[in-house]
């Protein structure tokens, strides 16, 4: 007798569906205003439905195979990783040094040319 009552109770519990459609209609305006609340006339208004009940409603809607359009947009994932500033600066310095080393032969030729021109000018001044 007791097992029959347990079976009927279990059947009743499994057949019971959370009335999400009525709740969704009731709180539709609230849910479109935001996840946590919204500003109205310069004052913060929390939602009329608690976060726990909102989460339960969302779960029921998704389990029923319906779409839940009230979630906020997700931000992009950070691609730049955090680190120590000294490591970042030293990497930038190494890159700058590599660029300068590529230009080094031309810089040396320019330096030698300037030095030669300065020497020639000094000789011309001395001869006058």
**Mean per-residue pLDDT pooled into runs of 10, the chain (128 residues):** 64 60 82 81 87 88 86 83 86 95 96 95 87
- Burial of 57: CB neighbours in 10 Å, binned 0-12, 13-18, 19+: buried
The token pair that represents 126 in the structure block = 């001395």
**Are the beta carbons of 38 and 30 closer than 8 angstroms?**
no
The pLDDT of residue 80: 78
Q: What are phi and psi of 56, to 5 degrees?
A: -65, -40
Q: How many CB atoms lie within 10 A of CB 49?
A: 16
The pLDDT of residue 37: 80
pTM for the model: 0.45
């Amino acid at each position: 007798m007791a097992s029959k009552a347990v079976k009927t109770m279990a059947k009743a519990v499994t057949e019971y569906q959370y009335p999400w459609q009525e709740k969704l209609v009731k709180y539709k305006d609230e849910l479109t205003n935001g996840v946590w609340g919204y500003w109205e006339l310069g004052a913060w208004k929390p939602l009329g439905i608690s976060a726990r009940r909102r989460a339960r409603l969302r779960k029921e809607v998704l389990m029923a195979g319906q779409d839940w359009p009230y979630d906020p947009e997700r931000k992009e994932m950070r691609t730049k990783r955090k680190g120590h500033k000294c490591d970042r600066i030293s990497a930038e310095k190494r890159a700058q040094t590599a660029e300068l080393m590529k230009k080094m032969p031309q810089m040396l030729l320019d330096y030698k040319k300037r030095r030669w021109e300065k020497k020639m000018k000094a000789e011309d001044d001395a001869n006058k």
